[in-house]
Amino acid sequence: MGTSSATRRNSNTGSHSKSSDGQGADQAAPGLFGIASDLRVDDFELQGLLLGLVGRTHGIFDGDYQPPFQAPAVQELVKRMARLSGADLGNRQQVLEEFQVALEAMQRRSSVASQPSIPTAEVVEKFLESRRPDLAEESFVTHRTILWGFARAFPTLPTDPEVIEHYMAERRDQRKGSPSADYRRLLYSVLTRFYDFAHQRYDALDVMKQIGRPSKGKAKESDYLTLDLLKLLLAAIKDDRLRAYVYLCVGQGLRPEEPLRLDIEDIFPDRLRVKGKERTEWVPLLAEVHEALARIAAGRPGSDPLFVGYTTNRRLGRKQVYNIIHDLFREAGVAGIKAAPKTLRHTFCTLVQSAGCDRAATEALMRHRTSNVTDFYTHLSAEERLGLLRAKLEDFSPLRQANSHLPHLHKSTG
């Protein structure tokens, strides 16, 4: 501080001397907004800033007047500011910033209090109705499960970010029975879209904009098969159904659940109609993969599921496929790597990139939504896009890397 500020500080300090009745200023009665009238901030500038912030609290509350500093956190900040003097004035900026945050939180709560109550179930029903045409069946079921659980927890739409943050932190993944970073990110994604819809349709406060996206947690390297291990795995396959599934995941990069959604009518000689996470997509189809799919589809109507159980003749489920892939890894002698369908997709991505495929094409083949893919492929027609990706797939697919010639397809054993 300059000399003039120091002079003002000394003058202000002198005003706190004992009064004639022996009472010190520390015993003065409470003053404006519950702040003690003996405010001892020995800096005129700081006092001015404090009073300015106090003034900003006027008009925050509707209806009958309530002292803005009833909130304990704000009261404590005011007391801290009042105690500042001398060398402690170096903390002034920090305290002012904390005070500013507290006031903004009060303003948000006031805004929330003025929001009309909106039945959560009504918004959930309308949101799911609007999303039904765009979501794959499994994604729709996931959205429905999450949002109806949210509606049961909150009969009226919550507008306090802390309440929703606590809910996301405590909510358990029903499949795993415990909270996880991936599940919190899924909750965040679904609730973000839900609140955006509620804001557009019901003029509700889009509270998710005040909540940060949960972190991924501790990063870990994904398991994948080297080219030599992939050759061992392919050599261990002894029936067409398993070969077709592995080819789709490790040769085409499909997600583990996507082959299970396929019907026979989704297969074409040069392309595949895939029901993805959020939409139906066309992907190029390798000749050897088409051959494997055609063998297990032969003689059945187009509306039949492609992958069915040998004994039930019903569509295969995720758990069944997980067990089949786990057994395949064991029979192939592949150890030390997670024996799961997802490892096959990770293998596709890793081997495609290591073979020299450019990042944009790799992400497009994986059907990731990234700026690279958007920028590179937006201007292309559907046929142009399929043509470019087919060329990339034929050059870099791990199946083409693992097989110098097409393997003989064994007859089904079921």
Q: Who's near 393: CB < 8 A, 6+ residues apart?
A: 252, 284, 286, 365
To the question of pTM greater than 0.75 for the whole model, the response is no
Domain end among 210, 237, 271: 210
Let me know whether 156 and 285 are in one domain. no
In this prediction, residue 16 has a pLDDT band, given cuts at 50, 70 and 90, of very low
Let me know whether 126 and 67 are in one domain. no
In this prediction, residue 336 has a pLDDT band, given cuts at 50, 70 and 90, of confident
Q: Of 140, 160, 158, whose CA–CA distance to 150 is shortest?
A: 158
Copy the structure tokens of residue 144: 């429905």
Between CA 334 and CA 355 the distance in angstroms is 22
* Least confident piece of the model among 127-131, 137-141, 225-229, 402-406: 402-406
In this prediction, residue 93 has a pLDDT band, given cuts at 50, 70 and 90, of low
> What total of structural domains would you count in the chain?
3
* Least confident piece of the model among 212-221, 276-285, 384-393: 212-221
The enclosing domain of 185 has a CATH number of 1.10.150
Owner of token pair 């870990």: 220
Domain that holds residue 186: 120-210
Which of 3-17, 61-75, 312-326: highest mean pLDDT?
312-326
Let me know whether 375 and 233 are in one domain. yes
Let me know whether 88 and 161 are in one domain. no
- pLDDT above 90 (res 368): no
Between CA 261 and CA 266 the distance in angstroms is 10
